[in-house]
Every structure is written in structure tokens, then in C-alpha cells.
């Protein structure tokens, strides 16, 4: 396309990135010098000091955006005088803030009003008219891989709308990237903003020099060899001869870091002007051995618990794609039903093999032992598992199959549960062997804090004598979730069901209630329960059911920011029930609870506090009729 005609009157360019950075450096130096000035002595009576900083006439830019970072703020904090150099420097800073927003006719004046020792620094602003945006692009050929409309859409400044230099500056890397993703590996961009004060225009000139359209060449892998190098090559998101794309390079880097085997990953295209671009993949292996030690104190629905943890991981042993993990979690718990102290032990050893049979597939072998006390009983015994997981066509669809075998004995039965021991199967050893299957489809935009998309899974277990089981049953647990953004609010919903066909082992029974299930109940409290006297006190002991239904809807929204940490809120409605048969659960008989919550969005996920209030089924024959409220504190969203 042709170059644009010259504007009638061309004023100086709007501040470039270098000018802005230079101004910031000057301000920083001034702050340091101003802070050091007279910092060795305290203010004495009669010494002038900055009491207040005011801005007048600013209708379109808020005070906080203009005064944030001013050099005089340090003088104000330290009760220092209004240094004229700092007053002038801050005046230019305010003017620069307006220029970056397209107010090319901005005028800023300053004065110092004194009342005794106190000085008020006042900046008077005449904003003028804000410039509108006009974008001109040259150097883009007719190429279906790089339509001009796609380049224009990459710059989020509409023609005829107010100009913002910050938006323009942040978009510059993406403006190069859109050309490189179309195959122009050596693309160059000369971008300039011209200020046309007479016509109140900010003309954004984007001049492309694309160079040749490129393809990927040979890939060199450095730092690993053998099976591990083959696994790296299988995760390349491009092949020799493919059209060049920076997105493919970034996706490759994410895949290689996702292997959790490397401390550094560098995917570097060759710096040549050739139309065939070779790529060098340089890797540094992470430490192969890792020891984890930990401990703490916790409270769960059944006990107060002192915990310890010892973990040991060896990566690349006994073969390059294998990982061996040992995990021991001893604990000592005081049971909340008054039955005294109980040890708790979970010990597990695992051998994993990545790229088992084909890329991205994973095989696992596990063996372990557990000694765990819950409200109704204490179970103890060994377990073993074989597992295989693989993507199906895409990483968003995962299929898992396996075999699990465990043998558990029971002791320390609650006095309320003892009469039900034969019916529940607690009077003999439980041996369960089952073939397991899991299919998940994850279309969410984020696995921890989703705002858009859907998630679905189906888990099943088939227990049979051929799997080594003394029980025979089929267990099915389907679940669906959905997320829809409406402005700044995210609407989330879910439905989960569970049922047995055949026998029901005591440790496989369903429970609901808690921070990630039904927030109108405490953890595991929504389940078939026995209520009676223990040591002259009324107790309720849940033992679980053979069928489950859970549903919920939630609206999540931002509230504010505190020290760069986002604070959000939520309102929710949860419904659910657990019974002996799925046919006994209907929408009209669900337990319902409404509630509100707060979210503290940290780097490890949202820290969540929820308060649930039960709405129905509060009669004497219902669960926990005297408990209408529940409070939950947890990490991560409920679903």
C-alpha cells in the first residue's frame, strides 16, 4: 500500500520509549538526591516542609495517576521543603503522563502556596483536546497467512478513538510477532508516532520490512542424548519444512519444561537471513535427586493431627525416562469423638515411565501401606496399582486405564457403627481388586482459575474376581463443569453423580460436604449417618452411601487489589445428597445451601473462604438439623 500524505502541520514526535525511559531515570535520580538532601537531621521548628500536593484542572486523568511516583512525595513523607528543582521535574512528569495519553496541547503550571512552615505544591493543568488515533501500515504484501486486517487487529487502538501511548508500546512486540508467526522470521518493524496538533491526531506509522517467507530447517538438540533426546524431539511442535512460527517455538518450550526434567530450556532459531531457519534446542538437566521434609499441625473433620512428611525422588533411574518416588507421611491424631490418640501412616513407592509405548503416554507402578482413622473406623493394610495414561488425539483429551488391588482390615470401630459392622462389611478383611478407566476432556482456558470453557470426566471401576477382588461391583462417577465470562464476572456450574452396581465396599462409599463439594455442610458430613450417645454425649458418625449427586452454580467477581494481590468475591448455590440408591435422590429432595465467599488470588492459586447457609431439610429426620451454617477455608476454586 502507498505511504500516507504528509499532515498539514507536523509537530514533534510523541515521546518514544527511549525518551520515556530517560525521563524515568532522571526522576529516579532526583528522588534519590532529594531524599538525601538534609536527610541527616530532623526538621526543626521554622523549617519549611511539603504538607500537600494538589492537581487542579485535570478532568480526564485522575489525581492518583498524576501524583503516583512524584519526587515531591518523598519530600512530603520526610517533611522536607519544596525544592524548586523537584517542583519543575514533577511538572514535566505530569506533562509526560498527558502526552502518553495523547493530550498533545497539554500545559502544566506550578506554584507553591505557603501557610507558616507548611507548603502546598499546586499543579494547574490545561488538558486541551485529546488526540484521536490514526494507523497507517506499509510493507504488508497480499498473503493469506498475513492479511492486513489481522495486523491491524493486533494493535488495540481503533481509528478515531483516543490515543494511548502505553497501549501502543505494549503492542509493539505483538506487531512483530504476528508477522513472524506468518512465516516471516526476519521481519523488521519501524514504528513511529507523529503528533498532528492542528488536527488533534496521533498518527501511528507502522513500516514493515518482512524479508523472505521462511520454513523450519534442521533441529539440533544439545545437552541430552539417547532416550531423553528422543523424548525431547517428540515434543517439538514443528517439523523440518513447516512454515516458520514463533508460536510453535514458544509451545515447544512449554512442552519441554512440562517434562519436569530440565532446569533451563532454550529454543533458539538461527540468526541468519536464510529462508530456511535452523533451530538449536539447548537443555540443562535439573537435579536428579530431591529430598522433601515437612511437618505441621492440622484439623480435619475427625481429629486434631500432628503431621510429618519425608519424600525422596530420583529422576532418570533406573533408566533415563524413569522416575522413582518414595513418600512417607506419618501423623499422630487426637480423635475429636473423645476416643483418644491414634497413629496415621501413609507410605507409598512409585515408579513412573514417561513416553511409555509412545510419546506423551505415561506408565505407573505403585505400592504402599496405609493406617488411617476416620469417624467410623480405622482401616489399615497394603495396596498396589498399575496405571497407564495417554492423550487421545490432543492433550485436552486424556484416557487412563489401570488395575488396583488393596487389602484392608478394620479396628477401633465407633460404638455407633458396631451394630452395622456385618451389613457394612467391617467385620472381615476387605480385598478389592478393580480395573479402572478414566476419560477426561478439558476445554478450560486455565486449569486453576478457569473463566471460559468446559470440563467433563467419567471415572469407572470394575471389581471382579479376575482382578483379585472379593467384591464384585461397577462404580461410575461422571462429572461436567462449565464456565462463562460475562464482563468481569465468571459464571461457573457443575454436576457430579456417583453410583454402584453390585457390592459396596466400606472404604469406597460416597461422602459429600466440605469446601470442594457441598458448602452447606462440614467435611464428609453429608452422608448416611448414625446418631447416638458416646460417653453420654450425642454424636453423629457418617459411614457413607452408595449413590451421590452434587450440583452447584457460582458467580465469581473481582473486588479490589491489595499490594498487587487480587481480591475477589463469589456468591454460590450448592445442592446435593448421598443415599443408598441413586433412585432415592431427586432434584426435589436435594439439600440446598446458598453462600458468599472471598478469594485471595496468590501465585499458587486462590486462597478461598466460603460461608454457606442451608436453605431446606432442617427437620428432625434430616442430617444435622441443628446446623444451618458452615465455614470453609481452602486453596483453589471449588470446581
Question: Residue 482: which H helix or E strand, with range?
Answer: strand 473-486
249 and 167 share one domain: no
Does 41 map to a domain? yes
* SS3 state of residue 68: coil
| In the predicted structure, residue 127 carries a pLDDT above the cut 70 | yes
Does 560 map to a domain? yes
Contacts of 605 (CB under 8 A, 6+ apart): 448, 449, 635, 636, 637
606 and 489 share one domain: yes
Grid cell of 400 as nine digits: 487412563
Q: What is the DSSP letter of 22?
A: H
444 vs 614: CA distance, rounded Å: 30
The residue out of 236, 269, 285 marking a domain boundary is 285
Grid cell of 517 as nine digits: 463439594
234 vs 228: CA distance, rounded Å: 10
Of the candidates 465, 486, 503, the residue with the CA atom closest to the CA atom of residue 558: 486
Please indicate whether residue 324 or residue 332 has the higher confidence score (pLDDT): 324
Per the DSSP assignment, residues forming a β-bridge with 19 are none
Does 626 map to a domain? yes
- pLDDT per position as a tens digit, 485-531: 999 999 999 999 999 999 999 999 999 999 999 999 988 899 999 99
| In the predicted structure, residue 304 carries a pLDDT above the cut 90 | no
118 and 137 share one domain: no
Q: How many CB atoms lie within 10 A of CB 428?
A: 11
450 vs 554: CA distance, rounded Å: 12
- pLDDT per position as a tens digit, 214-260: 999 999 999 999 999 999 999 999 999 999 999 999 999 999 999 99
181 vs 194: CA distance, rounded Å: 28
**Residue 302: which pLDDT band, with cuts at 50, 70 and 90?**
low
Q: How many CB atoms lie within 10 A of CB 462?
A: 19
What Å distances lie between residue 411 and 321, 326, 414, 426, 508, CA to CA? Answer: 41, 27, 9, 9, 17
Query: Residues 493, 525: contact at Cβ < 8 Å?
Result: no
479 and 607 share one domain: yes
* Structural domain that includes position 139: 132-209
Does 43 map to a domain? yes
102 and 147 share one domain: no
370 vs 380: CA distance, rounded Å: 5
599 and 489 share one domain: yes
Contacts of 573 (CB under 8 A, 6+ apart): 552, 553, 554, 592, 593, 594
- 362-373 and 276-285: which strand pairing? unpaired
Grid cell of 457 as nine digits: 470426566
Quick one: pLDDT at residue 339? 63
| In the predicted structure, residue 578 carries a pLDDT above the cut 80 | yes
Q: How many CB atoms lie within 10 A of CB 573?
A: 18
Q: In the chain, pLDDT over 90 holds for what percent of residues? A: 76
**Residue 42: which pLDDT band, with cuts at 50, 70 and 90?**
low
Does 308 map to a domain? no
The residue out of 285, 301, 331 marking a domain boundary is 285
Q: What is the DSSP letter of 4?
A: P
216 vs 198: CA distance, rounded Å: 48
| In the predicted structure, residue 628 carries a pLDDT above the cut 70 | yes
Does 611 map to a domain? yes
Single pTM value for the model: 0.78
| In the predicted structure, residue 183 carries a pLDDT above the cut 70 | yes
535 vs 20: CA distance, rounded Å: 75
| Number of domains composing the chain | 4
Does 335 map to a domain? no
524 and 501 share one domain: yes
147 and 249 share one domain: no
Quick one: pLDDT at residue 295? 84
Q: Domain containing 469 — which CATH number? A: 2.40.160.50
What Å distances lie between residue 333 and 156, 303, 447, CA to CA? Answer: 58, 6, 33
Render the burial of 190-199: b for 16+ CB within 10 Å, e for the rest: ebebbbbbee
Q: Quickly list H helices, 399-492.
A: 421-424
24 and 142 share one domain: no
Please indicate whether residue 137 or residue 23 has the higher confidence score (pLDDT): 137
From 94-108, 142-156, 277-291, 331-345, the region with the lowest mean pLDDT:
331-345
Query: Residues 349, 369: contact at Cβ < 8 Å?
Result: no
Q: Which residue has the cell 442430617?
A: 623
114 and 145 share one domain: no
**Residue 29: which pLDDT band, with cuts at 50, 70 and 90?**
very low
- pLDDT per position as a tens digit, 368-378: 999 998 889 99
Q: What is the chain's mean pLDDT, rounded?
A: 89
215-222: strand order across its sheet: 215-222, 276-285, 262-269
Quick one: pLDDT at residue 9? 34
Q: Which residue has the cell 508477522?
A: 179
Query: Residues 516, 634: contact at Cβ < 8 Å?
Result: yes
176 and 59 share one domain: no
397 vs 394: CA distance, rounded Å: 6
139 and 281 share one domain: no
Q: Domain containing 275 — which CATH number? A: 3.10.20.310
Quick one: pLDDT at residue 354? 96
HEC profile for 247-310?
HHHHHHHHHHHCCCCEEEEEEEECCCCCCEEEEEEEEEECCCEEEEEEEEEEECCCEEEEEEEE
| In the predicted structure, residue 171 carries a pLDDT above the cut 50 | yes
DSSP class per residue in 423-444 = HHTTTS-EEEEEEEEEEEEE--
First to last CA, the chain: 51
531 vs 73: CA distance, rounded Å: 65
The residue out of 82, 106, 126 marking a domain boundary is 126
- 430-442 and 394-411: which strand pairing? antiparallel
**Residue 300: which pLDDT band, with cuts at 50, 70 and 90?**
low
Quick one: pLDDT at residue 604? 83
Does 503 map to a domain? yes
Amino acid at each position: 500500500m502507498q505511504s500516507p500524505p504528509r499532515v498539514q502541520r507536523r509537530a514533534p514526535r510523541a515521546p518514544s520509549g527511549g525518551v520515556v525511559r530517560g525521563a524515568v531515570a532522571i526522576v529516579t535520580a532526583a528522588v534519590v538526591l532529594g531524599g538525601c538532601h538534609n536527610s541527616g537531621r530532623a526538621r526543626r521548628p521554622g523549617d519549611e516542609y511539603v504538607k500537600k500536593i494538589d492537581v487542579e484542572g485535570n478532568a480526564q486523568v485522575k489525581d492518583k495517576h498524576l501524583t503516583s511516583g512524584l519526587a515531591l512525595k518523598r519530600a512530603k513523607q520526610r517533611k522536607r521543603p519544596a525544592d524548586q528543582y523537584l517542583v519543575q521535574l514533577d511538572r514535566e512528569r505530569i506533562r509526560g503522563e498527558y502526552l502518553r495519553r495523547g493530550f498533545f496541547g497539554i500545559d502544566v503550571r506550578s506554584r507553591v502556596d505557603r501557610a507558616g512552615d507548611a507548603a502546598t505544591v499546586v499543579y494547574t493543568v490545561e488538558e486541551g483536546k485529546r488526540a484521536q488515533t490514526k494507523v497507517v501500515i506499509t510493507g504488508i504484501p497480499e498473503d493469506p497467512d498475513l492479511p492486513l486486517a489481522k495486523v491491524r487487529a493486533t494493535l488495540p487502538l481503533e481509528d478515531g478513538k483516543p490515543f494511548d501511548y502505553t497501549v501502543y508500546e505494549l503492542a509493539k512486540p505483538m506487531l512483530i510477532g504476528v508477522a513472524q508467526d506468518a512465516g516471516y522470521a526476519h521481519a523488521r518493524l519501524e514504528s513511529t508516532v507523529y503528533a498532528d496538533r492542528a488536527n488533534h491526531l496521533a498518527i501511528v506509522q507502522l513500516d514493515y520490512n518482512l524479508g523472505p517467507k521462511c520454513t523450519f530447517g534442521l533441529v539440533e538438540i544439545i545437552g541430552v542424548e539417547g532416550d531423553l533426546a528422543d523424548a525431547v524431539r517428540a515434543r517439538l511442535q514443528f517439523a523440518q519444512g513447516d512454515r516458520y512460527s514463533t508460536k510453535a517455538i514458544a509451545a515447544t518450550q512449554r512442552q519441554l519444561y512440562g517434562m519436569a526434567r530440565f532446569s533451563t530450556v532454550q529454543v533458539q532459531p538461527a540468526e541468519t537471513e536464510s529462508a530456511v531457519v535452523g533451530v538449536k534446542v539447548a537443555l540443562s538437566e535439573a537435579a536428579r535427586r530431591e529430598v522433601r521434609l515437612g511437618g505441621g499441625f492440622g484439623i480435619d473433620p475427625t481429629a486434631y493431627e500432628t503431621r510429618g512428611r519425608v519424600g525422596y525422588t530420583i529422576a532418570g533411574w533406573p533408566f533415563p525416562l524413569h522416575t522413582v518416588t518414595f513418600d512417607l507421611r506419618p501423623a499422630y491424631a487426637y480423635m475429636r469423638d473423645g476416643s483418644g490418640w491414634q497413629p496415621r501412616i501413609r507410605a507409598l513407592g512409585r515408579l513412573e515411565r514417561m513416553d511409555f509405548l509412545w510419546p506423551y503416554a505415561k506408565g505407573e507402578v505403585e505400592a504402599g501401606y496405609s493406617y488411617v482413622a476416620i469417624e467410623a473406623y480405622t482401616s489399615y493394610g497394603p495396596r498396589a496399582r498399575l496405571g497407564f495414561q495417554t492423550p487421545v488425539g490432543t492433550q485436552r483429551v486424556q484416557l487412563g486405564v489401570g488395575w488396583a488391588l488393596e487389602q484392608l482390615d478394620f479396628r477401633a470401630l465407633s460404638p455407633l457403627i458396631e451394630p452395622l459392622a456385618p451389613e457394612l462389611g467391617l467385620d472381615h478383611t476387605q480385598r478389592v481388586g478393580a480395573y479402572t478407566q478414566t476419560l477426561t476432556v478439558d476445554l478450560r482456558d486455565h486449569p486453576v482459575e478457569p473463566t471460559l470453557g468446559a470440563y467433563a470426566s467419567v471415572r469407572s471401576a470394575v471389581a471382579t474376581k479376575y482382578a483379585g477382588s472379593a467384591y464384585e461391583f461397577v462404580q461410575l462417577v461422571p462429572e461436567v463443569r462449565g464456565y462463562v465470562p460475562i464482563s468481569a464476572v465468571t459464571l461457573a456450574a457443575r454436576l457430579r453423580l456417583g453410583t454402584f452396581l453390585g457390592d459396596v465396599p466400606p472404604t469406597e462409599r460416597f461422602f459429600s460436604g466440605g469446601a470442594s463439594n457441598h458448602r452447606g455442610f462440614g467435611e464428609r458430613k453429608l452422608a448416611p449417618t448414625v446418631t447416638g450417645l458416646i460417653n453420654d454425649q450425642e454424636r453423629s458418625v457418617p459411614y457413607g452411601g452408595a449413590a451421590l449427586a452434587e450440583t452447584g452454580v457460582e458467580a465469581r467477581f473481582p473486588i479490589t487489589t491489595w499490594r498487587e494481590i487480587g481480591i475477589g468475591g463469589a456468591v454460590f448455590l450448592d445442592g446435593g445428597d448421598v443415599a443408598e440408591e441413586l433412585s432415592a435422590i431427586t432434584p426435589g429432595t436435594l439439600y440446598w445451601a446458598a453462600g458468599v465467599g472471598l478469594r485471595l488470588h496468590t501465585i499458587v492459586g486462590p486462597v478461598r473462604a466460603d460461608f454457606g447457609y442451608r436453605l431446606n431439610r432442617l427437620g428432625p429426620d434430616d442430617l444435622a438439623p441443628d446446623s444451618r451454617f458452615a465455614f470453609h477455608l481452602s486453596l483453589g476454586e471449588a470446581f
